[in-house]
Amino acid sequence: MNTIFALGQHTGLRSAESGAVRAMTVQHGDTLSAIAVRFGVPLGKLLSANPQILNPDVIYPGDRVSLPAANGHTVRSGDTLSGIAAGYGVSLGQVLAANPQVTNPDMIYPGDRITIPGGHGGGGNTGDTGRPGGDVTDGTGPVTGPDSVSRPAPAGDADGVTPAQLQQIVPQLGASRAEAVAPHLNAAMAEAGIDTPQRQAMFIAQLAHESGGFHYMEEIASGAAYEGRADLGNTQAGDGVRFKGRGYIQVTGRHNYTEAGRALGLDLANNPDLASRPENAARIAAWYWESRGINAAADAGDFTRVTRLINGGTNGLADRQAYYDRARAALS
């Protein structure tokens, strides 16, 4: 437990074009997640383009980082952000992370330019608008309402984990608690592409360890120890307690609450207690997993690397492994 998303604040970049792939030089205070948001590239894709970076939370001034290109989409009347994401084959969380100017995913306007992370082009010809097969249609007012395009079903175990399976993985979990937790895990895993039994087993195992078997939703300590921690973005009086660790993997600090909230369309900066709700705790954990490109390590079967990406080390590795072994058996 007690995983802390210890990401510093972004302070500036020097960038240069290098053919089709941009490159930039890391300066003091830069973080990989902030670089990803600024350039509209999912952190997982940024990591894939930079295999020399073994830990996304550790980069150094003077390092060179390759920046994959990103495409754009011009909003037209009737568009929804989730529909745009589905049309380009990316998650809503990725689109929100690439567009920090969008503070409410249900409020976009015709003519707005939306960055599509990872250079996805969707189907058909995009033309000048970036939208498959269409031009910009004039319109006024925000685009709201239900999704016009359904999110595709996961490619692996579409049903995720059942409450009974979750009890097999976490024997100390009661039946009613398992029934409450499983649907939120499944929704979050589907949103983040954690869509194979292997990925799901690793994800659930890590969350089970970090949360004490899905029991703890908030750090037991007061959070006062984080007061004044500039590396966590705690720059205002009371931020340490206000932004203490919450959720299944304990998002910590004003900067990380803000980053997670922006990506998920949640106002965590003004309502930090939202991170303790089961549905949000699962989504925050899945966002962290996706944004750090952990699916790649899961697909490779590298449980130790997955643990390092979640925890920053290998604390509790034996306990995590035990959860993982039960998860593999339950989900196979």
pLDDT tens-place string over residues 218-255: 998 999 999 999 989 999 999 999 999 999 998 999 99
Distances (CA, A) of 136 to 96, 105, 116: 21, 20, 16
| Residues 70-152, CATH architecture | Roll (3.10)
Q: What is the pLDDT of residue 104?
A: 77
Q: What is the pLDDT of residue 41?
A: 67
Most confident region among 33-37, 45-49, 170-174, 310-314 by mean pLDDT = 170-174
Q: What is the pLDDT of residue 22?
A: 65
Question: What is the pLDDT averaged over residues 270-288?
Answer: 93
| Domains 14-67 and 224-276 equal at CATH topology level | no
Calculate helix-pair angle for 197-210, 303-311, nearest 10 degrees.
Answer: 40
CATH code of domain 163-217+280-331: 1.10.530.10
Query: Residue 71's pLDDT band (boundaries 50, 70, 90)?
Result: low
Q: Is the pLDDT assigned to residue 307 strictly greater than 90? A: yes
Residue type, 329: A
- Written out in words, the top-level CATH class of the domain with range 14-67 is alpha beta
Q: Which CATH number fits domain 224-276: 3.30.20.10, 3.40.50.1220, 3.20.20.80, 1.20.1250.20?
A: 3.30.20.10
Q: What is the pLDDT of residue 298?
A: 94
Q: What is the pLDDT of residue 61?
A: 78
Query: Residue 70's pLDDT band (boundaries 50, 70, 90)?
Result: low
Question: What is the pLDDT averaged over residues 17-32?
Answer: 64
Q: Where are the domains of the chain?
A: 14-67, 70-152, 163-217+280-331, 224-276
- Give pTM, 2 decimals: 0.56
Q: Is the pLDDT assigned to residue 133 strictly greater than 80? A: no
